[in-house]
Structure 1
């Protein structure tokens, strides 16, 4: 029996996966045989991103609803923010605070952070840029 790799995933990668956008396949392939973790605010960030895509007419309301349904079924362990906020705050000079929550969780778990956010991947040594493999 093999031990699954643990990873942290951010909202950018989840949106790509749920919407089957440009990097959705790369995200799906990378998640194979992994145990997925994320800060609890993941759901709010994905909701906000899907809402922006709907307002810009990139996706319609039905696609948002399908994505949100898939999100509720997504096999991710959500971690409370209380143990992450101080570490995230310490990263404020280099990283957007909401992104810093993902970085802090990955740091605490000593695992990779999966993202399609190129800027985050550039400034964060533990981030794996899945947009580079899509």
Structure 2
């Protein structure tokens, strides 16, 4: 089991080649877990890459299609809300929801976000990947 954030998926599908370290890590799992907001965060990041002309529309849409087909078990936000609130001093509610889910499931969190990985009060292990 592994919780992944949107940043890890963005890096895996846009920045890494087929043999990238994050892709390899994701392939070791039959499926991964994430808060349901991962879909909107991924779309927002893809939109930003396209707006800055860092990717073509075709590349963005192909990556979105691969992401939406990925074996991700998406979890509702309700059970994560209070823990995310407890982490408010150090994390956004979005980032805190990934931490809360990893804590709830007792599994590591895979991220490329150094600030998230180093935030205090986290009660899960964090794998800082692809840095």
Q: TM-score, normalised by structure 1?
A: 0.87
User: Hey, what does 1:131 align to over in structure 2?
Assistant: 130
Alignment gaps of 5+ in structure 2: none
Cα deviation 1:34-67 (Å, max 9, x = unaligned): 2300000100000000101111111111111101
- Work out the CA distance in 2 between the residues paired with 1:31 and 1:61: 25
Per the alignment, do residues 23 and 87 of structure 1 end up closer, same or farther by CA in structure 2, a change over 3 Å counting?
Answer: farther
- Work out the CA distance in 1 between the residues paired with 2:102 and 2:70: 19
- Work out the CA distance in 2 between the residues paired with 1:96 and 1:126: 18
User: Hey, what does 1:69 align to over in structure 2?
Assistant: 65
- Equivalences, count: 126
- Work out the CA distance in 2 between the residues paired with 1:91 and 1:33: 30
Alignment gaps of 5+ in structure 1: 1-5
Q: Secondary structure at the match of 2:95?
A: helix
Q: CA RMSD in A?
A: 1.6
- Work out the CA distance in 2 between the residues paired with 1:23 and 1:127: 23
Q: TM-score, normalised by structure 2?
A: 0.89
Cα deviation 1:2-54 (Å, max 9, x = unaligned): xxxx00000000111122x1487111111233230000010000000010111
Query: CA shift at 1:118, angstroms?
Result: 1.2
Which protein is richer in strand relative to its size?
1
Alignment of 1:65-104 (within 5 A): 65-104=61-100
- Work out the CA distance in 1 between the residues paired with 2:61 and 2:37: 18
Q: Secondary structure at the match of 1:114?
A: strand
Runs of 4+ in 1 over 4 A off after TM superposition: none
